[in-house]
Copies of this chain bind each other. A is one copy, B any other.
């Protein structure tokens, strides 16, 4: 018999409890061992559930019960989650979590403790909700060197951008609709400022490249500055604007990691990812591009990923899984000066002729562009070049206002 405890009974936690309790028979058969939820930790009262007897407000019950070998952490946040998870691992209990903030900020340390104690620390649900991504990354791509990860990692922002693109809704209206539909929190900052996507790219980059990437090392820009005009202009270049998280291995062993609104060609698979869906493209040296796609959030998708990890723990109760990365260091995440890229540029000037003249002389009149003389706007996509060179050129334009976005072609 394997006993588990669930810490947190919010959206995901209740889903985990329901699956583990309602599908106990199927799960026990698959793991060839009986599994029981012994405690559910939550400060609130849940008196009318079929499993109300399992609730406790005392973490001590869990940490001090030697029967408990697997603990599920689905409380969210870092403060308590970090303390409790650390205690559990130190006490020799395996931990499964869906908490991306915790893994992005404390992953390296917690993995190290898990390794020392020969227990598992698994977190498939922390990226992409129910989309299997971390395990395929580690296992199926084991024979690959991973070059690059690019993804739409946040469903809320993708929903908002999609509404702007398809229904010509402005940002605020789209955000309100997302709130109404339950896709955005009342305080949507973590989503629209890009922090959620940032945490996920940290986890993906850490796992793919072997060293911890901390959220503050990632250049992160949200979608609050994206306007309907941007969306319309991008459309004229047969592109859509998506919030893209990207991490890439550089030749010197360092990496880049960014989250930013990106002008994505409709030729790219990622441009077709609509609504609250997520998609993650992994480029390996042997496989080329492989993409994983699905709903990146939601109670049951996320809970099912947590339960799959619990089952994996249960099957390998005496054998640690190979999920590991080293700690990071200052300067490990750096700027990309290697690649030839294209930038999307929006420029505006009261002296429109001067803007056009400078554009013609710096970039060449035949660079793909849209001139809107009514609004004094010039929008173009540069040819390929190094980022620094392109930025220098753009800064030399005779413009009063300039907005730059990266592109994916």
- From residue A312, how far is it (CB to closest CB) to chain B in Å? 6
A11 within 8 A of B: no
Residues in B with CB closer than 8 Å to A298 are 288
In the assembled complex, the Cα of A315 lies from the Cα of B316 at a distance in Å of: 12
Q: Is the CB of A136 within 8 A of B142?
A: no
| Interface size classification for chain A | 35 or more
Q: Is the CB of A303 within 8 A of B290?
A: no
A293 within 8 A of B: yes
List residues 277-293 of chain A with CB under 8 A from any CB of chain B. 279, 284-293
Residues in B with CB closer than 8 Å to A144 are 304
Q: Is the CB of A287 within 8 A of B295?
A: yes
Residues in B with CB closer than 8 Å to A290 are 130-132, 292-295
Q: Is the CB of B305 within 8 A of A140?
A: yes
Q: Is the CB of B287 within 8 A of A304?
A: yes
In the assembled complex, the Cα of A163 lies from the Cα of B205 at a distance in Å of: 36
How often does this chain occur in the complex, in copies?
A: 2
A186 within 8 A of B: no
Closest B residue by C-beta to A306: B143
- From residue A271, how far is it (CB to closest CB) to chain B in Å? 9
A360 within 8 A of B: no
Q: Is the CB of A308 within 8 A of B30?
A: no
| Contact pick for A141, options B19, B308, B322, CB 8 Å | B308
Residues in B with CB closer than 8 Å to A141 are 132, 304, 308
Closest B residue by C-beta to A311: B142
Residues in B with CB closer than 8 Å to A289 are 294-295
Closest B residue by C-beta to A124: B140
Contact A307 to B139, CB < 8 A, known contacts A288-B294, A288-B301: no
A61 within 8 A of B: no
A259 within 8 A of B: no
| Contact pick for A322, options B26, B30, B145, B293, CB 8 Å | B30
List residues 13-59 of chain A with CB under 8 A from any CB of chain B. 15, 19, 23, 26-27, 30
A135 within 8 A of B: yes
Contact A143 to B308, CB < 8 A, known contacts A291-B293, A322-B30: yes
Q: Is the CB of A295 within 8 A of B288?
A: yes
- From residue A320, how far is it (CB to closest CB) to chain B in Å? 11
In the assembled complex, the Cα of A279 lies from the Cα of B287 at a distance in Å of: 14
- From residue A391, how far is it (CB to closest CB) to chain B in Å? 33
Residues in B with CB closer than 8 Å to A23 are 143
Q: Show 30 A/B contacts (Cβ-Cβ < 8 Å), sorted by A.
A: A23-B143, A30-B322, A130-B284, A130-B286, A130-B288, A131-B287, A132-B132, A132-B136, A132-B139, A135-B136, A136-B136, A139-B308, A140-B305, A140-B308, A142-B307, A142-B311, A143-B305, A143-B307, A143-B308, A269-B293, A272-B272, A285-B300, A287-B295, A287-B301, A288-B294, A288-B295, A288-B298, A288-B301, A290-B295, A292-B292
List 4 additional A-B contacts (Cβ < 8 Å) besides A132-B290, A288-B298, A289-B295: A135-B140, A287-B300, A288-B294, A290-B293
Q: Which 3 A-B pairs have the closest CB atoms?
A: A132-B140, A286-B304, A130-B287
- List chain A positions with a Cβ less than 8 A from chain B: 15, 19, 23, 26-27, 30, 124, 129-132, 135-136, 139-145, 269, 272, 279, 284-295, 298, 300-301, 303-305, 307-308, 311-312, 315, 319, 322
